[in-house]
């Protein structure tokens, strides 16, 4: 990486006279509301990493809505990612984690379209500094890419009576409030990086897609982005009720060892909170996540979209042909119960599935949790008149075709274009061609609201007889859904937990 610190002192005076993105020698500069930011250049991309979009949520700010980051007149070098938010695995984590990263094409004039990515991780794990989410390859397509951290687990989604006092009516959902604060920061500051605050596309996968869908429904965030991409959104998943969330909060502090009303939860040791979180998740895997608090979030995603309450903006929405996770096999009996179908119906629904019960469970899980709900949301959104483009990504990297590691999140490597990092192996020439096509669809959409463009297979909108883009090992084409009858059957059968 070329950082060239010898130029810093000579450049300071020049930066103070430049209102937005600038460069002196090989340095990218940006003047934000929080001060002057000195980035770095690698190849064709300038990056600004670890930018604070809110004050550190520590001490009295723990379990409160995010506060603005402090302003400064000093120049800061922003070469390094900020730490991940507290979670069980990463070695470098801190409660002072509300940072974001900006990637932009170096030497390209703006205003450029902006793509803001929200990572997944079941609301308890993940970070913007994951090498899988390096925005450089996307930025080369003349867009600005923003990746962000938000509070996770107990620190981001805890409801507890003692935390509501002085919180302005906020109950839990601190992670979603962080995402809204980051979007406000982008709106206020992205011009300084050459971005267009009126052309922002919000995208995410898994829990990140759930966040994007909820932000399409939440009043405070509607005006902060103009397009959305939902990748593998479990659209029928229900928000936690406030009563359930409060019960989980009480249980967590019982684990911490403080049930007294005099106990100050904001003074609790972070390590003890994480340890209690682990115990609670072992008992109930959905102990932390968005809460139907009646204020910020008032309805489940499916209900909101069916009622047409979401932002009526251009939307890409889809799922993968296999949505299982590495090391996690769905339980067939549980899947049959949740889908409300009998075992004898399963072979009729999936006559092409070779293998035993595990393979059937995987296919049923994929369709019950992702494929059918994605179709519902696409139908509902298209019915509002908003441009809607549905896809199914069934392509498997050539090196994985003899033994797949689970397909949930597989499209992310192709969109970000990274290779040889954890979660993303080395791609073949054929794989890279698919990645290039997918990236071009995504960036075209960010630019204009339509993924189509010269040299790409035509992608018909969902309003056109519910067609979708099918991306498989053999071809990419826009067509009627070959799984329609199966999905109709699942839709008719009832509960989708």
- Note the pLDDT of residue 14: 36
- Note the pLDDT of residue 327: 56
pLDDT bucket at 325, cuts 50 / 70 / 90: confident
Residue 494 has pLDDT above 80, yes or no: no
Average pLDDT over residues 281-304: 94
Q: Are 193 and 102 in contact (CB under 8 A)?
A: yes
pLDDT bucket at 16, cuts 50 / 70 / 90: very low
- Sign of the CA dihedral with 334 first, then 340, 345, and 348 last: negative
Tokens of 74: 């000093």
pLDDT digits (tens, 9 = 90+) for 417-442: 999 988 888 999 999 999 999 999 99
Residue 365 has pLDDT above 50, yes or no: yes
Average pLDDT, the chain: 89
pLDDT bucket at 5, cuts 50 / 70 / 90: very low
Q: Are 279 and 191 in contact (CB under 8 A)?
A: no
Which residues lie below 8 Å from residue 306, measured CB to CB, with a gap of 6+? 376, 380
Which residues lie below 8 Å from residue 483, measured CB to CB, with a gap of 6+? 367, 371
- Could you identify the residue written with the tokens 């409060």? 246
pLDDT digits (tens, 9 = 90+) for 441-489: 999 999 999 999 999 999 999 987 789 999 999 999 999 999 999 999 9
Average pLDDT over residues 385-395: 97
* Alpha-carbon separation of residue 46 from 38, 105, 138 (angstroms): 10, 6, 12
pTM for this structure? Answer: 0.92
Tokens of 295: 């204020």
Q: Could you write out the DSSP letters of every residue in 118-140?
A: E--STTTS--TT-GGG--HHHHT
Helix (H) or strand (E) holding 244: helix 242-256
Cα 173 from Cα 187, distance rounded (Å): 21
**Considering only CA atoms, which of 471, 460, 301, 457 is closest in space to residue 389?**
460
Average pLDDT over residues 260-288: 88
pLDDT bucket at 4, cuts 50 / 70 / 90: very low
- Note the pLDDT of residue 405: 67
């Amino acid at each position: 990486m070329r950082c060239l610190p010898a130029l810093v002192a000579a450049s300071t005076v020049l930066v103070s006279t430049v209102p937005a993105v600038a460069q002196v020698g090989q340095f990218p500069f940006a003047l934000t509301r929080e001060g002057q930011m000195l980035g770095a250049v690698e190849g064709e991309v300038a990056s600004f990493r670890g930018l604070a979009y809110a004050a550190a949520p520590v001490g009295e700010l723990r379990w409160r809505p995010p506060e603005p980051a402090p302003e400064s007149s000093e120049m800061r070098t922003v070469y390094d990612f900020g730490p991940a938010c507290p979670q069980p695995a990463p070695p470098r984590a801190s409660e002072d984690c509300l940072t974001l990263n900006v990637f932009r094409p170096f030497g390209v004039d703006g205003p450029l379209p902006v793509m803001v990515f929200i990572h997944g991780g079941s609301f308890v794990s993940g970070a913007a500094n994951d090498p899988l989410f390096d925005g450089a390859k996307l930025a080369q397509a003349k867009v600005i890419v923003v990746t962000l951290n938000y509070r996770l687990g107990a620190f981001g989604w805890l409801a507890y009576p003692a935390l509501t006092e002085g919180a302005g009516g906020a109950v839990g959902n601190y992670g979603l409030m962080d995402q809204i604060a980051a979007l406000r920061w982008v709106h206020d500051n992205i011009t300084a990086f050459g971005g267009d605050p009126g052309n922002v596309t919000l995208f995410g996968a898994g829990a990140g897609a759930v966040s994007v869908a909820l932000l399409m429904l939440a009043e405070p965030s509607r005006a902060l982005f103009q397009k959305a991409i939902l990748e593998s959104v479990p659209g029928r998943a229900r928000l936690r009720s406030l009563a359930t969330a409060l019960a989980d909060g009480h249980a967590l502090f019982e684990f911490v060892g403080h049930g007294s009303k005099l106990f100050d939860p904001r003074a609790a040791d972070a390590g003890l909170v994480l340890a209690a979180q682990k115990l609670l998740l072992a008992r109930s895997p959905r102990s932390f996540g968005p809460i139907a608090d009646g204020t910020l979030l008032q309805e489940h995603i499916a209900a909101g979209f069916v009622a047409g309450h979401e932002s009526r903006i251009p939307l890409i929405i889809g799922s993968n042909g296999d949505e299982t996770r590495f090391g996690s096999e769905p339980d067939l009996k549980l899947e049959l119960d949740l889908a409300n179908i009998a075992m004898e119906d399963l072979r009729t629904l999936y006559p092409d599935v070779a293998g035993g019960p595990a393979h059937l469970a995987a296919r049923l899980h994929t369709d019950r949790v992702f494929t059918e709900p994605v179709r519902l949301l696409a139908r509902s959104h298209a019915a509002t008149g908003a441009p809607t483009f549905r896809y199914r990504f069934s392509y498997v990297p050539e090196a994985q075709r003899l033994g797949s590691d689970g397909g949930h999140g597989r499209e992310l490597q192709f969109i970000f274009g990274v290779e040889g990092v954890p979660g993303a192996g080395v791609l073949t020439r054929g794989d890279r061609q698919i990645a290039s096509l997918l990236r071009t669809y995504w960036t075209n959409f960010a630019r204009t609201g339509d993924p189509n463009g010269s040299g790409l297979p035509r992608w018909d909108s969902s309003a056109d007889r519910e067609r979708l883009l099918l991306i498989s090992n053999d071809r990419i084409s826009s067509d009627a859904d070959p799984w329609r009858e199966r999905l109709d059957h699942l839709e008719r059968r009832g509960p989708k937990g």
